[in-house]
Structures are given as structure tokens and as C-alpha cells.
Amino acid sequence: MNTADRVRALIKKHFWEMADEDSLSTGQYGVLPEDAEEFFEEYFAEFNVNYCSFDFRKYFPREGIFFLPNMILPDYLKSDKHQPSPLTVQMLITSAKVGCWIED
């Protein structure tokens, strides 16, 4: 089984079958951040991907407490004010092949 097929199998194990252009972080079928964290732990270990440049919150922004303004919350409870960037299956395949996080 080649790297691309192994990545697809890991995605299917944690979520469901996705096309290479599908995004885990955006769109109608985005995954929950909690589920994504568990997936990425296994992904980085299984494919020996250096994740130093991977910013989880870029793809899965912290939602915080929606009914309280950020200015009264401690930093760890503040929500991120940006839209998530798409994190595609193809990005995962490419990064697994080269061994470090690559953004498209």
C-alpha cells in the first residue's frame, strides 16, 4: 500500500472516506476539533511527519465562550477571530510523503 492509500485509510478509520480535494476543517463535512486532535496524533506518529510548522488553530480556531466578550476572558478561553483555513486530504498526503508539514 502506498503512502497516499495509507493516509486515506487512516482518514477513513477516524472519520469517513473523503476525496483528495475534501477539507477536514472547512465545508459541509468538516470534522470536530476534538476528533481532529486525536487523528493528528496518530497521523504525525505513523508517517513520521515533522509538525513544528503545523498550527492546529489555523485550521481549527478556538471557539471560546460565545456569549462573553474576549476582553473579560483569560487568554486560554478567548476565541479566535478568523475563519479556518482549508486542510485538505491532499495536503496530508503531500506532507506524509515529504516528512514535514507542507501547506498548499
| Three-class SS state of 31 | coil
Pairwise CA distance, residues 61 & 65, whole Å? 13
35 contacts: CB under 8 Å, gap ≥ 6 = 14, 15
Pairwise CA distance, residues 44 & 60, whole Å? 17
Q: How many CA atoms lie within 13 A of 104 on its CB side?
A: 14
How confident is the model over 43-101, as pLDDT tens digits? 999 999 999 999 998 998 777 566 566 565 666 655 556 688 999 999 999 999 999 99
Q: Please, what's the largest Cα pairwise distance for the chain?
A: 52
Residues linked to residue 50 through DSSP beta bridges, in sequence order: 100
pLDDT of residue 73: 60
| Three-class SS state of 12 | helix
Looking at per-residue pLDDT, the higher value among 57 and 6 belongs to 6
Q: Is the pLDDT of residue 2 over 60?
A: yes
Structural domain boundaries of the chain? Answer: 3-98
Task: Quote the pTM value.
Answer: 0.83
